[in-house]
Structure 1
Amino acid sequence: MKQFRRLKLKGRMILILGLMALIQTGFIGAFAVHYLHQSLEEQIGQKALDVAKTIAATPQIVTAVEQGDSEYLQPISLNLARETQARFVVIGDREGIRLAHPNPNRIGHSMSDDEGDDNSTVLVDGQAYLSKALGSLGWSMRGKAPIFSSEGDRIVGLVSVGYHLEQVDKVTFHYQVTLIAVIVITFLLSVFTAVWFANHFKRAIFGLEPEQIGRLFEEQKATLESVREGIIAINNEGRITTINRTAIDTLGLPQGHSLVGQHISDVLPDSAMMKVLETGVPQFDEEVWREGHSIIANRLPLKQGDKITGVVSSFRRKDEVAMVSKKLTRIQQYADSLRSQSHEYSNKLHTIAGLIQIGAHDQALALIGQETQSHQELIKLLLDAVPDPILAGCLLGKYNRAREMGMLLVIDQDSHMKEIPEKLPRENLVSIIGNLIDNALEATRVHTGSGGEVKLSMTDLGNDLIFEIEDQGPGISPEQEAQIFEKGFSSKEAEGHGYGLHLVKSLLEKLGGTVMIEATGDSGSRFIVYIPKD
Structure 2
Amino acid sequence: MRFQTKLMVFISLLVVVVTGLLGLSFRYMITSALNEEMGKRALTVANTLAVDAQVREALKQTDTAQLRLRIHEAVKPVQASSGADFITIADRHLIRQWHVNPERIGTPMLNPMNDKVLHGQSFITESTGSLGRSLRAKTAIYDEQGKAIGLVSVGFLMTDVEQNIRTYTYAWLWFMIWALMIGILGSLLIARRVRRELHGLEPVEIGRLYQEKQAILESIGEGIIAVNSRGQVTFANPQAVRLLGLPLETTIDGYELRHLAGVAGKLADVLVADFTVNHANIKSDQEHIVLNEEIEVQQRVVVVSRVPIKDHSGQMIGTVASLRDKTELLRMTRQLTEVKDYAEGLRSQTHEYANRLYLISGLIQLECYDEAVDFITQESEEYRVHKPAASTLLPDSVIASLLIGKKKQALDKRIVLHSTVSGAFSTLSPTLEWSLLAAMAGNLLDNAMEAVAMPSIPEGQVWFRLEETAEAITVEVADNGAGIAEDIREKLFVKGASTKAEAGHGYGLALVHEYAERMGGSIKIHERTGGGTIFAIRIPLNTSVTSDEATGGYTHE
Report whether the alignment pairs 1:118 with 2:110: no
User: How far has the Cα of 1:290 moved from its partner?
Assistant: 2.1
Which is worse superposed, 273-282 or 72-81?
273-282
| Structure 1 counterpart of 2:289, from 265, 282, 307 | 282
Cα deviation, 1:357-385, whole Å, max 9, x if unaligned, reads: 23577987998899999999999xxxxxx
CA distance in 1, matches of 2:225, 2:413: 52
CA distance in 2, matches of 1:92, 1:210: 76
User: How far has the Cα of 1:203 moved from its partner?
Assistant: 1.5
CA distance in 2, matches of 1:275, 1:262: 16
Partner of residue 196, structure 1: 189
Partner of residue 298, structure 1: 305
Evaluate the alpha carbon distance shift between residue 20 and residue 227 of structure 1 in structure 2; reply closer, same or farther with a 3 A threshold.
Answer: same
Partner of residue 212, structure 1: 205
User: How far has the Cα of 1:28 moved from its partner?
Assistant: 0.7
User: How far has the Cα of 1:88 moved from its partner?
Assistant: 1.5
User: How far has the Cα of 1:340 moved from its partner?
Assistant: 0.5
Evaluate the alpha carbon distance shift between residue 53 and residue 503 of structure 1 in structure 2; reply closer, same or farther with a 3 A threshold.
Answer: farther
Report whether the alignment pairs 1:182 with 2:175: yes
Evaluate the alpha carbon distance shift between residue 368 and residue 160 of structure 1 in structure 2; reply closer, same or farther with a 3 A threshold.
Answer: closer
Partner of residue 317, structure 2: 309
CA distance in 2, matches of 1:532, 1:434: 12
Partner of residue 328, structure 2: 320
Q: Which amino acid aligns with 1:151?
A: Q
Partner of residue 4, structure 2: 10
Q: Are 1:87 and 1:164, in contact at CA under 8 Å, matched by a contact in 2? A: yes
Evaluate the alpha carbon distance shift between residue 363 and residue 51 of structure 1 in structure 2; reply closer, same or farther with a 3 A threshold.
Answer: same
User: How far has the Cα of 1:117 moved from its partner?
Assistant: 6.0
Q: Are 1:276 and 1:311, in contact at CA under 8 Å, matched by a contact in 2? A: no
Partner of residue 57, structure 1: 51
Partner of residue 94, structure 1: 92
Cα deviation, 1:10-58, whole Å, max 9, x if unaligned, reads: 1111111011101100001111111111101111110110111111111
Equivalence map 1:417-428=2 (5 Å): 425-428=440-443
Q: Are 1:9 and 1:210, in contact at CA under 8 Å, matched by a contact in 2? A: yes
Report whether the alignment pairs 1:79 with 2:77: yes
Q: Are 2:92 and 2:148, in contact at CA under 8 Å, matched by a contact in 1? A: yes
CA distance in 1, matches of 2:189, 2:448: 69
CA distance in 1, matches of 2:105, 2:378: 156
Evaluate the alpha carbon distance shift between residue 180 and residue 241 of structure 1 in structure 2; reply closer, same or farther with a 3 A threshold.
Answer: same
Partner of residue 266, structure 1: 259
Cα deviation, 1:293-345, whole Å, max 9, x if unaligned, reads: 22223222223453323222222322222222222222221221121011112
User: How far has the Cα of 1:285 moved from its partner?
Assistant: 2.3
User: How far has the Cα of 1:210 moved from its partner?
Assistant: 0.8
Evaluate the alpha carbon distance shift between residue 374 and residue 432 of structure 1 in structure 2; reply closer, same or farther with a 3 A threshold.
Answer: same
Q: Are 1:56 and 1:146, in contact at CA under 8 Å, matched by a contact in 2? A: yes
CA distance in 2, matches of 1:390, 1:456: 28
Report whether the alignment pairs 1:143 with 2:158: no
Equivalence map 1:7-46=2 (5 Å): 7-46=1-40
Evaluate the alpha carbon distance shift between residue 51 and residue 462 of structure 1 in structure 2; reply closer, same or farther with a 3 A threshold.
Answer: same
Which is worse superposed, 217-226 or 271-280?
271-280
CA distance in 2, matches of 1:358, 1:374: 25
| Structure 1 counterpart of 2:358, from 330, 350, 375 | 350
Q: Are 1:232 and 1:244, in contact at CA under 8 Å, matched by a contact in 2? A: yes
Partner of residue 538, structure 2: none
Which is worse superposed, 356-365 or 158-167?
356-365
CA distance in 2, matches of 1:228, 1:322: 14
Q: Which amino acid aligns with 1:300?
A: V
Q: Are 1:231 and 1:313, in contact at CA under 8 Å, matched by a contact in 2? A: yes
Q: Which amino acid aligns with 2:310?
A: K
Which is worse superposed, 503-512 or 89-98?
503-512
TM-score, normalised to structure 2's length?
0.67
| Structure 1 counterpart of 2:342, from 334, 343, 349 | 334
Q: Are 2:87 and 2:155, in contact at CA under 8 Å, matched by a contact in 1? A: yes
Q: Are 1:95 and 1:157, in contact at CA under 8 Å, matched by a contact in 2? A: yes
Partner of residue 483, structure 1: none
Report whether the alignment pairs 1:397 with 2:408: yes
Q: Which amino acid aligns with 1:303?
A: K
CA distance in 2, matches of 1:86, 1:464: 123
Q: Which amino acid aligns with 2:103?
A: N
User: How far has the Cα of 1:89 moved from its partner?
Assistant: 1.6
Equivalence map 1:241-260=2 (5 Å): 241-254=234-247, 256=249, 258-260=251-253
Q: Which amino acid aligns with 1:84?
A: S
Q: Which amino acid aligns with 2:353?
A: Y
Between the aligned residues of both structures, percent identity stands at 28
Q: Are 2:54 and 2:74, in contact at CA under 8 Å, matched by a contact in 1? A: no
CA distance in 1, matches of 2:116, 2:459: 132
CA distance in 1, matches of 2:167, 2:350: 104
Evaluate the alpha carbon distance shift between residue 177 and residue 92 of structure 1 in structure 2; reply closer, same or farther with a 3 A threshold.
Answer: same
Q: Unaligned regions of 5+ residues in structure 1, if any?
A: 1-6, 380-387, 401-408, 417-421, 438-454, 466-501, 513-530
Evaluate the alpha carbon distance shift between residue 398 and residue 464 of structure 1 in structure 2; reply closer, same or farther with a 3 A threshold.
Answer: farther
Evaluate the alpha carbon distance shift between residue 208 and residue 378 of structure 1 in structure 2; reply closer, same or farther with a 3 A threshold.
Answer: closer
Evaluate the alpha carbon distance shift between residue 375 and residue 33 of structure 1 in structure 2; reply closer, same or farther with a 3 A threshold.
Answer: closer
Q: Unaligned regions of 5+ residues in structure 2, if any?
A: 277-283, 388-398, 419-436, 461-479, 487-499, 511-531, 536-557
| Structure 2 counterpart of 1:103, from 101, 104, 111 | 101
Q: Aligned pair count? A: 435
CA distance in 1, matches of 2:123, 2:309: 77
Evaluate the alpha carbon distance shift between residue 362 and residue 50 of structure 1 in structure 2; reply closer, same or farther with a 3 A threshold.
Answer: same
Partner of residue 482, structure 2: 461
Equivalent residue of 1:505, what SS? coil
CA distance in 1, matches of 2:381, 2:113: 142
Evaluate the alpha carbon distance shift between residue 129 and residue 456 of structure 1 in structure 2; reply closer, same or farther with a 3 A threshold.
Answer: farther
Evaluate the alpha carbon distance shift between residue 369 and residue 144 of structure 1 in structure 2; reply closer, same or farther with a 3 A threshold.
Answer: closer
Cα deviation, 1:121-149, whole Å, max 9, x if unaligned, reads: 2112x122211111112222211111111
Partner of residue 434, structure 2: none
| Structure 2 counterpart of 1:164, from 154, 157, 164 | 157
Q: Are 2:451 and 2:481, in contact at CA under 8 Å, matched by a contact in 1? A: no
Calculate the aligned-residue CA RMSD, in Å: 4.2
Evaluate the alpha carbon distance shift between residue 203 and residue 285 of structure 1 in structure 2; reply closer, same or farther with a 3 A threshold.
Answer: same
Evaluate the alpha carbon distance shift between residue 221 and residue 503 of structure 1 in structure 2; reply closer, same or farther with a 3 A threshold.
Answer: farther
CA distance in 1, matches of 2:243, 2:482: 40
Q: Which amino acid aligns with 1:77?
A: V
CA distance in 2, matches of 1:217, 1:185: 40
Q: Are 1:299 and 1:314, in contact at CA under 8 Å, matched by a contact in 2? A: yes
Q: Are 2:46 and 2:138, in contact at CA under 8 Å, matched by a contact in 1? A: yes
Q: Which amino acid aligns with 2:189?
A: W
